[in-house]
Amino acid sequence: MSQLFSPGQIDGLSLANRIVIAPMCQYSAEDGRATDWHTIHLGHLALSGAGLMFIEATAVEPAGRISPQDLGLWSDETEAALAKTLSAVRAHSDMPIGIQLGHAGRKASVAQPWKGGGQLALDQGGWQTRAPSPVPFDGHARAPTALTRDDLARLCENFAAAAQRSVRLGLAAIELHGAHGYLMHQFLSPLSNRREDAYGGSLENRMRFPFEVFEAVRAVVPAGFPVGFRVSATDWVEGGWDLQQTLAFARELKARGGSFIHVSSGGLSAAQKIPLGPNYQVPMARAVKEATGLPTIAVGLITEADQAEAIIGTGDADFVGLARGVLYDPRWPWHAAAHLGVSIKAPNQYLRSQPRQYRNLFG
């Protein structure tokens, strides 16, 4: 029996297997509204046989977008556009779909990656960014403005409102984006958080705003509805956020009723030195899982079926997250199932594609 294809559970959400399609920004929305691209993108991945799929980082206010083309969920118009996309996807797939809610903070107001990804000038569609402290992201000429306490209270309300919209849309889970150098990660890391009030300085203070967001979201979703965090386990920079602080954050998340944790790393500083290689983040996921027992998602250069099977089978993590790998091979779960000798669900229209050597693949 394959452990990768064994059933999984996150709070009240039952999953057919341990494969998670991680959030991947598409930079293809119009004023925050999902477009036909999102229908195509989410639609074909929803036919992949993965256990759970997360929609890309979705901004809770316009100023929280990474680029002007980022997806949003802050208005009736953005909710209606995403509802249209989800309706088309669900007509042909029963895969559970979650959403990642976030705010880019000082990393906002940049061009799409294929247009260079640089900070946009105010007269070129950019905007003044906000962050814990007026410390610019590497390479950004325009520094952010420090958020006030009133701003933080408003942001919590925005996250809660987006969570309510997520529930109305029938989404299955919410992942709060506390990784990759975006706003909540900016609060956590001493490299970007230079505040001298109750939201800066000590670890407890730096964790305060992310947990205020979590509490605001948890308060407006039904009991048993999964709410978790994506974290960068380390900044890969001396003196920055690190694994020991991540473990403290994860323990506190569990104590507050968090449902899962998704363990990534980096993204806060250009000074990061990442030892890239297969499974390079998996030991951090294992450390978090062992310290907390929270359902844990491992991600990062997981590309092979045997590799993913070993991560689950050895207890390194409860789920594996696929991002670039599943963009390159949208049928990765089919191919993994064939390799591991198990059956997987496929749409009726594709049943005749089953290769002869895998007669029981589409069970």
Type of residue found at 153: A
The verdict on residue 357 lying in a domain is: no
**Tens digits of per-residue pLDDT, 313-334?**
999 999 999 999 999 999 999 9
pLDDT tens-digit map of 104-140:
999 999 999 999 999 999 999 999 999 999 999 998 9
**How high does pLDDT run on average in the chain?**
97
Residue 241, in any domain of the structure: yes
Name the catalytic one among 27, 182, 199, 328.
182
- The answer on pLDDT for 78 being more than 90 is yes
Which CATH number covers residue 162? 3.20.20.70
Q: Is residue 343 in a domain?
A: no
State residue 175 phi and psi, 5-degree precision: -110, 125
Q: How confident is the model at residue 280 (pLDDT cuts 50, 70, 90)?
A: very high
For residue 284, pLDDT beyond 90:
yes
**Alpha-carbon gap, residue 175 to 149, rounded angstroms:** 24
Helix (H) or strand (E) holding 311: helix 305-313
- Residue 7: inside a domain, yes or no? no
Nearest to 204 by CA among 193, 218, 216, 220: 193
Identify the band that residue 170 occupies on the pLDDT scale cut at 50, 70 and 90: very high
User: What confidence score (pLDDT) does residue 336 get?
Assistant: 98
Q: How confident is the model at residue 18 (pLDDT cuts 50, 70, 90)?
A: very high
352 domain residue, yes or no? no
Whole-number Å distance between alpha carbons of 358 and 341: 8
The separation between CA 317 and the C-alpha centre of its own chain, rounded to angstroms, equals 16
The answer to whether residues 157 and 218 touch, using CB atoms and an 8 Å cutoff, is no
Which residue shows structure tokens 């951090």? 284
Rounded distance between C-alpha atoms, residue 34 and residue 36, angstroms: 7
Percent share of the chain, pLDDT over 90? 99
Backbone angles phi, psi at 187, to 5 degrees: -70, -40
Which residue range forms the structural domain that includes residue 188? Answer: 19-331
CA angle, residues 40, 44, 47, in degrees to nearest 5: 150
- Beta-carbon contacts of 90 under 8 Å, excluding residues fewer than 6 positions away, are 170
Closest CA to 172 of 97, 86, 90: 97
Domain count, the chain: 1
182 catalytic per annotation: yes
pLDDT in tens, 290-312: 999 999 999 999 999 999 999 99
| Residue in this structure with the two tokens 């989410």, named with its chain if needed | 42
Q: Exposed e or buried b for every residue in 190-221, given b needs 16+ CB within 10 A?
A: bbbbebeeebbeeeebbbbbbbbbbebbbebb
8 in any annotated domain? no
Q: What are phi and psi of 112, to 5 degrees?
A: -55, 150
Q: 119 near 140, Cβ under 8 Å? A: yes
**Alpha-helical regions (H) of 182-317:** 183-188, 203-218, 243-255, 282-292, 305-313
CA distance 338 to 332: 10
What is the Cα 324 distance to its own chain's centre?
A: 13
Give the pLDDT confidence of 189-236 residue by residue, as tens digits.
Answer: 999 999 999 999 999 999 999 999 999 999 999 999 999 999 999 999
In a domain, 12, yes or no: no
Given a cut of 90, whether residue 179 has pLDDT beyond it is: yes
Write phi, then psi, for 168 (nearest 5 degrees): -60, -35
The label of the residue with tokens 């996807």 reads: 89
219 part of a folded domain? yes
Q: What is the per-residue pLDDT for 363?
A: 81
pTM for this structure? Answer: 0.97
